[in-house]
Structure 1
Amino acid sequence: MQRCEITGKGITFGNQISHSHRVTGRIWRPNLQTTKIVINGVVVKVKVCTKTLKSLKAANEVEVMQILKANADNLSPRLQKVLSK
């Protein structure tokens, strides 16, 4: 399942409505990108959505830790394990 490892943003469900107003189900997937971040001196590859990636690129290492702690409830188990070390 596609999910941002930091924010927890995932697939969204909805309806596609045609010109004749026929309704069919559809999904929207998050735009995930793989990137490397440094957590406590450890380089970790993570899949993050582009909005989060933009925040991470603009942040220094201290601000990255603040972003991770702010989203502690949504972090993937792998990142929680690295963060707790």
Structure 2
Amino acid sequence: MSAHCQLTGRKPGFGNTISHSHRRTARRFGPNIQRRRYWLPSEGRYVRLALSAKGIKTVDVIGVEAAVARIRARGEKV
């Protein structure tokens, strides 16, 4: 599973870990991706989405139908 949110498009950020001696080593800040299953009434089936924490809150506000419509508008398969 790639570390990106299907709804918001959040991806890993990159930066440096800085030690006490101030040496820098590359690191990656991963998004908080959760796999959630939602009932899609219009199709009569469940859909499984990989969403960030912000994406889950967005689905709670706009509804699963609108969220799936946004994902499909971007060209992703659901």
Q: Deviations over 1:1-38 (max 9, x none)?
A: 21111122111111111121101000011111111222
What's 2:53 paired with?
A: 50
CA RMSD of aligned residues (A): 2.2
* Identity value in percent: 29
Q: Does 1:20 align with 2:21?
A: yes
DSSP-derived class of the 1:78 partner: coil
Kindly tell me: are residues 9 and 43 of structure 1, through their superposed partners in 2, closer, same or farther at Cα, counting changes over 3 Å? Answer: same
Kindly tell me: are residues 39 and 7 of structure 1, through their superposed partners in 2, closer, same or farther at Cα, counting changes over 3 Å? Answer: farther
What's 1:78 paired with?
A: 77
TM-score (norm 2): 0.72
Which structure 2 residue ranges, 5 or more long, are not aligned? Answer: none
TM-score (norm 1): 0.67
Map 1:35-46 → 2, pairs under 5 A: 35-37=36-38, 38=40, 40-41=42-43, 42-46=45-49
CA separation in 2, counterparts of 1:2 and 1:10?
6
Kindly tell me: are residues 49 and 66 of structure 1, through their superposed partners in 2, closer, same or farther at Cα, counting changes over 3 Å? Answer: same
CA contact (8 A) 2:7 2:70 kept: no
